[in-house]
Structure 1
Amino acid sequence: MDRHTVEHVRSRGWSVTMIPEDDLGPGFAYTVGLWHTYRSPELAMFGLDIHLMHELLNRLGDGVATGEPVEAEQERHDLIARHPVVLKQVDVRWYREFFGQAIAFYRRPPFPVLEVVWPDPHGRFPWHPDYAEQYRELQPSLWLWPGDQRDLSSSH
């Protein structure tokens, strides 16, 4: 377990882990500690600049700390200018692949995780049939069972 994460959770209530883009996939960031401190789901975000995602997840964490709930299927208009985001419940079968620091912190799943899903420039989300293809690989659809990543238009 990363000592920095534990100290951040102790002092702030949560920490944000940033994973840079590499040959295996897009960069992503996720919280550790929201469930421990506030009994609020952890949050994950993919495909944008990792420092921007860090800032956005901290903004959501600040809201949680002041009593603003985050929940599955919630549409938020207060995170990215001119575009809503939708919070989707992550299927637990994805946890080991993406959330190692959280698993180390909590010792084991389950703890809830919501994926913060952003739209394409036309305001369409990955489950929309006309979602811009160049963005599909930037955001894995973690709300789907890992073997069912094909037909997103019927998954919302």
Structure 2
Amino acid sequence: MSLDGITEEDAQLRQWLLNEAEERGNAVVQVPQDEYGAPYCFSVGAWRRFGVPEAVVVGLPEDMGPVLVNAYVARARSGERFRPGRLYDDFFDGVPVAVERVAKGHYPQFLGSAFLLYRTGDFPAVQLITPTPDGAWPWQQQAPDGFAAWQPVLTESGVPESWTPGVDGP
């Protein structure tokens, strides 16, 4: 299949994304840590297959991010729906997860390959946010120095927008 305006490499990546989504329910694209920031990963195909937002995880160890994304998609495949602004204490193996909408302005950087499936960028995305092992969230004062930069909140403001921290959310 040929799409105007994309390279052969992008066409191959698009086909891989489609195949993974058909076979597994989603593809997980991983971006390693570099001089610009933390590692991150994201789903591609969850919106197409299950009608749920794509998910992005920033700042977890590279072997853990995909596990979290795949757990999200597996739960969505079985019918569960995740609401932004909600804390899921039992999300995965005792790890709490807060869900937040991703602002469209972050899509090119954090969901870039998804545009190969959703050419207009018309798809929803959520961020799965985890605390430190001690329970500090990136936006909290007690978070370690640099944690907010390591796991940025991908809203327009850079802080949770679907809830008020400490009032109706973590």
Q: In which range does the TM-score fall when normalised by the shorter chain? A: 0.7 to 0.9
**Structure-1-length-normalised TM-score:** 0.87
**SS of 1:133 mapped into structure 2:** coil
Residue 129 (str. 1) matches residue 104 (str. 2): no
Using the alignment, how far apart are the partners of 1:9 and 1:38 within structure 2?
10
Residue 78 (str. 1) matches residue 97 (str. 2): no
**SS of 2:149 mapped into structure 1:** helix
Residue 109 (str. 1) matches residue 121 (str. 2): yes
- Work out the percentage of aligned pairs sharing the same amino acid: 25
**SS of 2:63 mapped into structure 1:** helix
Change (3 A) 1:153 1:69: closer
Whether the 8 Å contact between 1:129 and 1:153 is mirrored in structure 2 is no
* Count of aligned pairs between the two proteins: 151
CA-CA distance at 1:80 after TM superposition: 4.4
**Structure-2-length-normalised TM-score:** 0.80
Structure 1: tracts of 5 or more residues without a match: none
Greater fraction helix: 1
Whether the 8 Å contact between 1:41 and 1:112 is mirrored in structure 2 is yes
- Cα RMSD of the aligned pairs, angstroms, is 2.0
- Whichever of the two has the greater Rg, that structure is 2
CA-CA distance at 1:33 after TM superposition: 0.7
Using the alignment, how far apart are the partners of 1:47 and 1:126 within structure 2?
11
CA-CA distance at 1:81 after TM superposition: 4.1
Q: Which amino acid aligns with 1:25?
A: G
What residue number does 1:24 align with? 36
